[in-house]
Structure 1
Amino acid sequence: MSSQLKAQIVLDRNYKIARVDERIYGSFIEHLGRAVYGGIYDPHHEQADEQGFRKDVIHLVKELQVPIIRYPGGNFVSGYNWEDGVGPMRDRPRRLELAWRTIETNEIGTNEFADWANKVNADVMMAVNLGTRGIDAARNLLEYTNHPGGTYWSDLRKSHGYEKPHKFKTWCLGNEMDGPWQIGHKTAHEYGRIAKETAKAMKLVDPDIELVACGSSNTGMATFPEWEAITLDHTYEEVDYISLHQYYGNHENDPANYLAKNMDMDHFIKTVTSTCDYIKAKHRSKKTMHLSFDEWNVWYHSREADKKIEPWTISPPQLEDHYNFEDALLVGSMLITFLQHADRVKMACLAQLVNVIAPIMTENNGRAWKQTIFYPYMHTSIYGRGVSIKPILSSPKYDSKEFTDVPYIDCAAVFHEENEELTLFLVNKHLSETIHLNADIRSFEEYQVVEHLVLENDHLKAANTAESQNVVPHANGESTNEGGQLQIIVPKTSWNVIRLKKFMM
């Protein structure tokens, strides 16, 4: 094995970051575009089940092993009356949906989505409307979903055919309330007050729930990170998580700079963590605030097309990014970033899951297929469960338009002690050079490589379609362990998953 460029990693089983909370592999379904109607729900499809849910989509979602799914929004939730989506479907009203300027039919609501989540083996992260509504609607929805019975709202649920409560554990207190685009946008103090009082009421209804307060919508917000400081100053003892949202794009067609953008995500996480710890110290609290990165992805391909969509239509094709190979590489690096911060990032939601900036695409009444970003998301979800190990990395670096000292190699490692498995996740960002990586794994000397998956393509703009899967992983990666020194060939612009298992000598 030889290569012009070399990198080194030291992995020691004692260099533990934290146990990975599997909910960092969560996702998101919003009443937006074709995510629900035409995505997960298409009653006229040949593969629709008895409730109208597409079985081909259910199969693909189950491949991803998504542990938790945020619902019903998103910007949508800030104008949503949850009562519109329960009860007999024939009685549900059609509404003007103001966030995305469409018609919402309300065919799918809280109970149906709970059913679908059960079919894909996922928990639900519910969101309450703190835009046009507030404490009363939030506590009533919680009573409807979680209370066993004997009260107005819980008995109403029973009358709708759901005898047992859904027991949704995780709840978002609104969505992106720092954003001027948000219906019911608030200042940090206004939001902090209503979030605190809503949290108090909800935990009186069900003390076992956990709550997520709205953080900044992205790092470019003028109020970042003061928003987090003010919001948490109000809510620190009432909430369990603060949210982060971030999307990236390659508008300038500068792949070297684009592939470095997970460094902005890393800075975002570190800044919010520092702000949380400042408020912890200010309040003399013993509680550590954790992070919910409950919207993240690549989003830029569809923005121009979305400007041409006719308003007040039903489930138009909004935010339908068709992802290419370089998008998959950045998604892989973002997932690696979460693993590097497993001590504080406990939940994350790839936004979204089907059709809308999603790893899964469908045709109405037609086919479903995997986008390029499906693969790094699936690999980390399946193999990235256990304890995140801190890699001591020495990598060649480069500078780009926005970033300096960008390592060509991104790396995360997860040790699943119970299964005696060690998995390395690697991205090589170099546009033209293979990198020879030496990983010192003497702490795992008895572990041998059982699989080296590689996602690579000579064309950064290569994409998958219903007709052709042009970007798919292969298992022909080159890596061997010789005396505790793992030698890895990391191809140019590639996503790599190296799986090792313990073998007794």
Structure 2
Amino acid sequence: MKVHINEKRVLGKRDKMIYGHFIEHFHRQIYGGVYEPGSPMSDEDGFRQDVLEAMKKIKVPVLRWPGGCFVSSYHWREAVGQKRTPMFDKSWRVEDPNTFGTDEYIKLCRKIGCEPYICTNAGTGTPEEMSDWVEYCNLETEGKYARWRIENGSGKPYKVKYWSIGNENYGSWEIGAKSAVAWGELVRESAKMMTHTDPGTELTAAALTDLEWNINLLKNCKDYLRWISIHEYWDGINQTNDYADYGQCMAYTKDIGHSIDEIRGLLTAMKLEKKIKIAFDEWNLRGWYHPNVHTIRQGLTKEEYLYPRDENDDNSKYTMADAVFTACFLNTLNRNCDIVGMANYAPIVNTRGCIYTCPDGMVLRSTYFVFDLYVNYLGDIVLDTWCEDAAAMEVKNKQGDTVPVDSVDILATGFSEGKGLALAAINKEAGEVRSITLSIPCEEKDGTMSYLANKVSMYSLSGSSTESYNDIGHMDVKIEERDLGHFHADMVINLKPHSVNIIRIGD
């Protein structure tokens, strides 16, 4: 397969926030995950130091919190100040001690150096409650909530720029679900009060690929919103934990960006594509396992609805399928950098996260290293590419149908600061090596070709099989670096089966 790259054909500059993450009060994401006071592995503020370092290594740019479905019955006032009031979380049916609240979350963001992104309660909450939260976080001294923050030890405002009105309020599973008409009206009034409190906020609101819902939302709120929020979990196994196998996961990569395409079309039709961007603020290959809780018939015993959540902790299930799929979606986000300005992998710690914790340490799952590759080695200027004689393969989806998909997914990038090229090259084949030939126009400068004799480095993530995974005492998936010598015209590079690769040419 010949890959044609022309540095003059620029698709756009991607925002680093597309490599964002998400954390929710579900299972062990907060308590026993990132936050574990009393643990010998935690710092003086109760944060797991190993987790903080792992998050800093992948330069988490933005962290969405506190939900997720959790937020739709969450009242932020109960989790600030000296006296914390435990709450029964009606979404996940557990008691939350509220020891991790707004102040702890902001402290977490500052420790890892990321932007906070707060999702508000649009289920049982009110526009006033949402705007009071903005006051607490962003006003200097005006108002009782700003003064309450000062009383709680934070003299300077938190300056939270990004706020989401609601989570998945279109869904029957969400506490406080709304109709399309009611949603447009609620978001408008909430946005009005929030921007009156702090005009510097950037607001998004829950949406999906539904025409009626989005038209009602945008007709009512287009003047207030800077973002529109969408979510997607391709392998929806919330009730069954029936994991798609490797081939079935590759079937999901066909038309992987359909949600983006549909929302782009609507924004363009309403002449909003220059004003409102997409925040893909929850995404993962697989849905979280939580049976008998987001259903009409609820589980009666904890054996039915609570304890099964521990099965999310089985590290052997997070294989190269997850890594390859994740890389394919990151390629898609990059290619849509003109309209997608933020994305949040859900979650970052435990459940289906890329970091797993236990009392004695942590495990970096296969998906963690995908973010490591993309954040630390790929460029930010997205270039157009054309693949000649592109290879294809056929896989079976979960319904047993044959699905044709491309074998190789290529993304080419340059650097806004510095020279050189970086390619993300994904081989989806389960067992076959795929070769790519790089065709890059090289202008003559002083009698030499601009990329000739430049060093070529390759950073590869793969495993001994498609089922390779990492666990305590078991490290089968990691990044390997190779020196490929110096670039030459029509250079051929071999991609291992089921691998994610970053190829760096030049500086």
Query: Aligned residue for 1:380?
Result: 374
Secondary structure of 2:487's counterpart equals: strand
- The CA deviation at 1:76 is 0.6
Q: Tell me what 1:446 maps to.
A: 450
| In structure 1, distance between residues paired with 2:330 and 2:194 | 32
Deviates more, 1:173-182 or 1:314-323: 314-323
Corresponding position of 1:102: 94
Which deviates the most, 176-185 or 423-432? Answer: 423-432
Matched, 1:495 2:487: no
Match of 1:35 in 2: 29
- Using the TM superposition, name which of 123-132 and 441-450 deviates more: 441-450
Query: Structure 2: where are the runs of 5+ without partners?
Result: 294-298, 444-448
* Superposition pairs of residues 54-69 of structure 1, within 5 angstroms: 54-69=48-63
Aligned counterpart, 1:392 = 386
Equivalences for residues 45-444 of structure 1 within 5 A: 45-88=39-82, 91-216=83-208, 224-249=210-235, 251=242, 253-280=244-271, 287-300=274-287, 302=289, 309-310=302-303, 317=310, 319-320=312-313, 322=315, 323-363=318-358, 365-394=359-388, 395-401=390-396, 404-443=403-442
How far residue 315 of structure 1 moved from its aligned partner, in angstroms, is 13
* Equivalent position amino acid for 1:459 in 2: S
The one-letter code sitting in structure 2 at the alignment partner of 1:325 is M
Unaligned runs of at least 5 residues, structure 1: 1-6
Provide the rounded CA distance (Å) in 1 between the counterparts of 2:287 and 2:102.
Answer: 30
Contact 1:103 1:314 in 2 (8 A): no
Instruction: Report the Cα distance in structure 2 between the residues aligned to 1:304 and 1:188, rounded to whole angstroms.
Output: 27
Q: Using a 3 Å threshold, how does the CA distance of structure 1 residues 55 and 15 change in structure 2: closer, same or farther?
A: same
Over 3 Å counting, the alpha-carbon distance change for 1:482 and 1:253 in structure 2 is: same
**Post-superposition offset of 1:227:** 2.2
Residue 370 of structure 2 aligns to a residue whose secondary structure is helix
Q: CA separation in 1, counterparts of 2:141 and 2:377?
A: 40
Encode CA deviations 1:27-46: one digit per residue, 9 max, x unaligned. Answer: 00111111110011111211
Which of 459, 465, 468 aligns to 2:465? It is 459
Q: In the alignment, residue 191 of structure 1 is paired with which amino acid? A: W
| Aligned counterpart in structure 2 of residue 474 of structure 1, from 477, 480, 505 | 480
Letter in 1 for 2:226: D
Matches of 1:118 and 1:155, distance apart in 2: 21
Q: Say if 1:421 and 1:386 are closer, same or farther in 2 by CA, change over 3 A.
A: same
Question: Which range moves more in the overlay, 398-407 or 115-124?
Answer: 398-407
Q: Percent of counterpart pairs with the same letter?
A: 28
Q: Is the 8 A contact 1:321 1:358 kept in 2?
A: no
TM-score norm. by structure 1 comes to: 0.90
AA paired with 2:343? A
1:21 and 1:128 mapped to 2: Cα distance? Answer: 24
Deviations 1:413-464 (A, max 9, x none): 2211322132100111122221110121225853434420111223211211
Q: Equivalents in 2 of 1:417, 1:446: separation in Å?
A: 17
Check whether the contact 1:33–1:316 (CA below 8 A) recurs between aligned residues: yes
Q: Is the 8 A contact 1:146 1:168 kept in 2?
A: yes
Q: Which moved more, 1:376-385 or 1:120-129?
A: 376-385
CA distance 1:338–1:144, shift in 2 (3 Å): same
What amino acid is aligned across from residue 231 of structure 2 in structure 1? H
Amino acid at match of 1:474: E
Deviations 1:389-408 (A, max 9, x none): 12112311234445754211
- Is the 2:456–2:485 Cα contact (8 Å) retained in structure 1? no
Single out whichever of 40-49 and 162-171 deviates more from structure 2.
40-49
Secondary structure of 1:420's aligned partner: coil
Q: Return the alpha-carbon distance in structure 1 between the equivalents of residues 352 and 273 of structure 2.
A: 39
Runs of at least 4 residues of structure 1 off by over 6 A?
A: 304-308, 311-316
One-letter amino acid of the counterpart of residue 213, structure 2: W
What amino acid maps onto 1:466 in structure 2? I
C-alpha change, 1:265 and 1:234, in structure 2 (3 Å) is farther
SS at match of 1:11: strand
Aligned residues: 482
> Does the aligned pair in 1 maintain the 2:381–2:414 contact within 8 Å?
yes
Cα RMSD for the two superposed structures: 2.4
TM-score (norm 2): 0.89
Q: 1:486 to 1:193 in 2, by over 3 A?
A: farther
Partner SS for 2:37 = coil
How has the CA–CA distance of structure 1 residues 316 and 103 changed in structure 2, closer, same or farther, with 3 Å as cutoff? farther
Q: Deviations over 1:42-98 (max 9, x none)?
A: 11211211111111111111111100000111101111000011001xx21111101
- Provide the C-alpha distance between the structure 1 equivalents of 2:442 and 2:307, rounded to a whole number of angstroms: 57
Structure 2: how far apart are the matches of 1:312 and 1:392? 49
Cα contact 1:73–1:127 (8 A) shared by 2: yes
SS at match of 1:176: coil
